[in-house]
Every structure is written in C-alpha cells, then in structure tokens.
Structure 1
C-alpha cells in the first residue's frame, strides 16, 4: 500500500470516478473553516494506492491539545468501494507508518474505521457512533412523510395542526448575524449539560461553507426563535449538523415540525437523503437518549464506520490513556 500526498482537486476527481459524494468534512471548504479554530491546522490530503490504483482518499487536520498533536479525518478515509477487513488493516498500517515518518509530533490519528482491528483503539475523547438515522427525502412532501414511522407521522401532523411556530429558511439572516440563534444554543447547552462552541465558530461555519453547502432553518413563535437547525449539503446528501431549541417546547412538537420542513426544503434543493447524525446502542450507550426522537423519522437505521484512534507513537498514546484513567478516578 502506497501513500501519496494530493490536493483537493484530486480528491474530487477520484470521488467522481467512484461515483461517491465526498463528505462535507473532506472538502476544501471544511479545511478553510478548520483554520479559523484555535489550535487546528489542515495537515494534508492523502491518496491510498494499491497495485497502482487509488482505493481511498482522506483529508487530515492537525489538532494541538494538552501539549500533544493528533490528526483527525472526519468520515475519512473515503473508499472507492467498501473495504474488507484485510484491506482496511493494510491501509491503516501504511497510514500509521507514513504519518510516523512525516511528522514526529503526532501521537495518533482519529479516523473512521469499519472493522474492530487490533491496530486501533477506542477514542480518547468525543462520542463516536456506528449507527445513524438517514431520512429518505425523495418524492413529494407527502411521500417523505409516509416513510416516517407511525409515531413520526403522528407527531408531525400534530405539530402542523396545533403548533403556532412559523418555519422558514433563515440562511441569509443567520449569515448576517447568528446572535439570536446562538442564545437558543446557550439555553440548550445549560439544559443538556454541554458548553457550546463560541458564537464566531458557528458564524464562520455558515459563512465559509457558503449557502450552497450550509442552510439554517428556524422556527419562530411570536417573532422569537425557539428552535433551529444548521444543515450541511454535499452533493445530494444533507446532514443535520447542529440544532437547538428553547426549554419546554417538547409539548408543542416544534422541532418535529421543523425537521419535516427541513426535509421538504432540502428535497426541493435536490437532496435525496438527510442524515440525523448518530444514535445510541451498545457501542455508543451515551447516545441512547437520542433514539426515541431520531428513530421516528425513518423505518430503519444505517450502519456507519465509527471514529477510532490509530496510535502512531504507542508509548505516548499509552500515557494519554493512563492519564485519562487517572482523571476519571479523581
């Protein structure tokens, strides 16, 4: 297995040959966005070659944190065809050796790995998932709705019938100022136990990805934003990347109505699928609280390659694991 440094144009060329859409995180626009975040730097785009033919590509970003560096590739590598366990292992070993030879600072690489291989480890941080819910957005609005589970159809219809929230695409407004929407995210974080990224991160996300690849949808009650979503678009695939809602709106089903509105708007823009970004199971138990809500929008779930760590400097990586265990005990 050979590893070659390439550019985004080459990644896009190979994706067209393979007839696959690069995930938004594997695009040049995403790399430009990452440059705006402190301690993150686009590293390289790579091509994995076997017997003279490219089999996968990936874009990597360098993270500097707590005195060490690691590389991350969101939803990468992107494969020309699904790899078997042997090919994936060979590719990871070649990538590990390449990174070790090119950048001695890197402790590990975090990337999407379908098989549970002994060359990888569970991630040190973040919450990976190996299943998601993908909504089929082909056809008419009624056809989209009919593919929801029964309780999903019920809740959306109740929302449309009883909810007084007005839904709209607010991309242009959010590009000029995201402050009003951000206030809702702050409230969501306080309720659900997380700290949102700084306001400028969301503003940069919307601005740099651009309106063709990033849309902001919102629901307003009496003129005030009460629920919103940032959705990314790449090819015919959309992802519900961020979302927030005011406390106490579950009874009004505002977010149910908003997601259905999003499905219809994204379909109008040519999207055929809408990924809800991760649900819980035994692999990712901390995400199980999302399942009741997300799974009602599709009859089944979709398997995806979860994020795993590929140690590049095993001794350093082992010390990081040990430090994390000590921190948990404390």
Structure 2
C-alpha cells in the first residue's frame, strides 16, 4: 500500500544521497529558498512517497496563491528512485491527493510531472511539454561539436568564423545590476509578441540561487549586450531556463556562438548535460517553432513526463476549467467582432 509522509529537508538530503538520485533544480532546498522570496508563493512542504515502507520518491511542493485560490506546484517532480509504471504512479497520486486534502483544505489542485494521464488533467495555465533536447557535455569542445547534427556543426562552425559576438559568463556582473540585460529581453518580447517578466524575476533568480545554481552567459558586440541565456545548475545537470537576443543582431549568428560557448564552458567545469528545456511535439505543437534551433545541438529527442494537474477539490477545479473555456470563447467572439468592424 502506498502512503505519503511529510519529510524534513535533512531527510530529503539523506534520501537523495542514499539512492544516488539526480534532482532537477525545482526539487531542491535552493529552489525552496528562491520561491520563498517571490510574492504569492511559499514552500508548502517536502513529501515522501512510500510503498510498504520502501521509499519511492520525494517531492517539493510550492504553494501558489493566485486569483483567489491556492494550488501546489511540484515542478518536474516527484523525483522517483525508479520510473513508475502506470499503476504505481496512479496509486501514488491518489495517496498524494488524500494527504494534501487532509492537511490543507484550501488547495484546489496539485501540478506535477505525470508519465501517465490517470487521475490528472491538462494544465490550466502555462505550456506543458513532453519532449526536450539534452546536450551531452562530456569529452571536450570537439566532441560536443561532433555529436551535433550536420546542420548544427555547420551552423556553429560558421558562427565561430563569422560572428563578432564576444561570449562570457557574466553572472557576477549581472548580480551588480541587470538593466543592460533586461533591455534585450524587452526587445525580444516586442519582436516575438509576448509580455516579459519583470526584470526582478531574472535578477532575483540569479541572486537567490547563487552562482552554484544559476549562471548568465552573455554575448556582446562592440561592448553592447546582444544576447544572453540564463542556465540553472544542479547535480551536474544544467538547464537552459531563459534567453533572448537583440533584433539588431539576428543575422550575426550570436545564439549559435553563445550556446556552444556555454556547452564547452560547463563541460570543462564537470557538468554532464544541458537540457534545452522543451520543444514541440504532437503533445505540444505550440512549441514547434523551437525545434529547428534546438534539435541541431543533439542527435536525439528526449521524452519527459509533462506537467499535469491533479485535482484535489474536484468541483472547484471543474469550475476553473469552465471559466477558462468561457474566457477562450469570449476572446474568439471579440476577435470576430473586431474583424467585422474593419
């Protein structure tokens, strides 16, 4: 029989080491501290999943207080000792739902990584993906290049020959002030049609996680920031979290040069892999535009457990789903009326 127990941070560290687990940054004490610094969020607790006394997984749950309700985000978790089959995962989620509801009646749902769809629903918000590109950082600069696709090798070599960008790890410089970096994100958002997070989102992430868990790699042309990418680090794994590029340098191959620089620099420091954090697939066609750039850096696509919602208060959750559908329908009507008025 599966059960869920509350754990201390010390117990999680011991279990992590005992079972030689590799954890995503979002399932670490460092992430809990970082999330505690964000308004409307707070660490809800560490949870352990057991079967007949045998440890199976742990999870860090962060409470999100938003739009008048609360949900828990177990980002890229639970962290399993071994990948669960559908029956075990379903039983674990059922036990988790019972535990959460018994402890905190305000929680409407839990967002977590689910290999199987049982008991869960598609996420209400954000974009969930089930595919990514993981770059192997072993073997040195030439080996990293050799493992790319032929297109990737050609693009990187051309960037090394022709791009005027000078690349560096500017984490320490960014900690002293983020304004010059944020301007590039604003430019990217205007070009690509999205709303950028406040500058404090990126600055506080670097500050709260610290250089041990977050780095900012930057390209500069004639001394001016042309592009940058923010990487998170944990258990010798790196993840590409945020990135942007100035419109003025789009044809100067700065991204290829910067990513190759970051791959090589992290590889020399002993990091094993870099996850490019999500590409498009039949599960998530919204991200298909990322595929051409990201897939050239590795020979294969990696499948992961996508984020899904585990309803805890089912009637409340159903009302949220209905409200989302109504908002979508209203937006469609407004677009139609706007089009007819032209």
1:289 match: secondary structure: helix
Deviation at 1:200, TM superposition (A): 1.4
Establish whether residue 29 from structure 1 lines up as the match of residue 7 from structure 2: no
Q: Are the equivalent residues in 1 in contact too, given 2:140–2:268 (CA < 8 A)? A: no
d(CA) in 2 for partners of 1:269, 1:43 = 34
1:12 is displaced (CA, Å) by: 2.0
Q: Which is worse superposed, 15-24 or 100-109? A: 15-24
**Deviations along 1:280-317, whole A, 9 cap, x unmatched?**
01101100010000000001010100000000000000
Name the structure 2 match of 1:83: 84
> How far is 1:172 from its partner?
0.8
Q: Determine the structure 2 residue equivalent to 1:211.
A: 211
Give the structure 2 partner of residue 120 of structure 1. Answer: 120
- Cα shift readout 1:22-46 (whole Å, capped 9, x = no counterpart): 1111111111111121211110100
| Distance (Å, rounded) in 2 between the aligned partners of 1:291 and 1:249 | 21
Once the two structures are TM-superposed, the CA of residue 250 in structure 1 deviates from its matched residue by 3.2
Counterpart in the other structure of 1:42: 43
Kept after mapping to 2: 8 A contact 1:12/1:22: no
Cross-structure match for 2:56: 55
Q: Which residue of structure 1 lines up, in the alignment, with residue 278 of structure 2?
A: 278
- C-alpha distance after superposition, 1:262-288 (max 9, x if no partner): 000101111010000000011011000
Does the 8 Å contact 1:133/1:302 carry over to 2? yes
Q: Aligned ranges for residues 233-252 of structure 1 at < 5 Å? A: 233-252=233-252
- Partner-residue secondary structure (3-state), 2:139: coil
Q: Could you tell me which residue of structure 2 aligns to residue 20 of structure 1? A: 21
SS, match of residue 251 in structure 2: helix
| CA distance in 2: counterparts of 1:7 and 1:198, whole angstroms | 33
Shift of the alpha carbon at 1:111? 0.3
Counterpart of 2:149 in structure 1 is 149
TM-score (norm 2): 0.95
Is the contact made by 2:70 and 2:106 (CA closer than 8 Å) also made in structure 1? Answer: yes
Looking at structure 2, the residues matched to 58 and 321 of structure 1 have their Cα atoms a distance apart, in angstroms, of 25
SS in 2 for 1:252: coil
Q: Could you tell me how far 1:248 is from its partner in structure 2?
A: 4.2
Identify the residue that residue 102 of structure 1 maps to in structure 2: 103
Alignment of 1:309-320 (within 5 A): 309-320=309-320
In the TM superposition, structure 1's runs of 4+ consecutive aligned residues that sit over 3 Å from their partners are: none
SS in 2 for 1:266: helix
In structure 1, the residue matched to 2:340 is: none
| 1:228 correspondence with 2:228 | yes
Cα distance between partner residues in 1 of 2:159 and 2:180: 23
Q: How far apart in 2 are the matches of 1:8 and 1:302?
A: 30
2:337 — aligned with what? none
- Once residues 17 and 23 of structure 2 are traced to their aligned partners in structure 1, the CA distance between those partners, rounded to angstroms, is 9
Checking the alignment, whether the CA contact within 8 Å between 2:130 and 2:304 is kept in structure 1 is yes
Name 2:72's counterpart in structure 1.
71
Q: Indicate the residue corresponding to 1:181 in structure 2.
A: 181
- Is the Cα–Cα contact under 8 Å of residues 138 and 144 in structure 1 kept in the other structure? yes
Paired residues for 1:127-142 under 5 Å:
127-142=127-142
Distance in 2 separating the partners of 1:305 and 1:181: 32
Aligned-residue Cα RMSD (Å) equals 0.9
Measure the CA separation in 1 of the matches of 2:239 and 2:70. Answer: 28
Distance (whole Å) between structure 2 residues aligned to residue 250 and residue 296 of structure 1: 18
Q: Which residue of 2 aligns with 1:291?
A: 291
SS of the aligned residue for 2:247 comes to coil
1:328 is matched with which residue? 328
Query: How many residue pairs align between the two structures?
Result: 329
For structure 1, list consecutive stretches of 5 or more residues without a partner in the other structure.
none
User: Equivalent residue of 2:108, what SS?
Assistant: strand
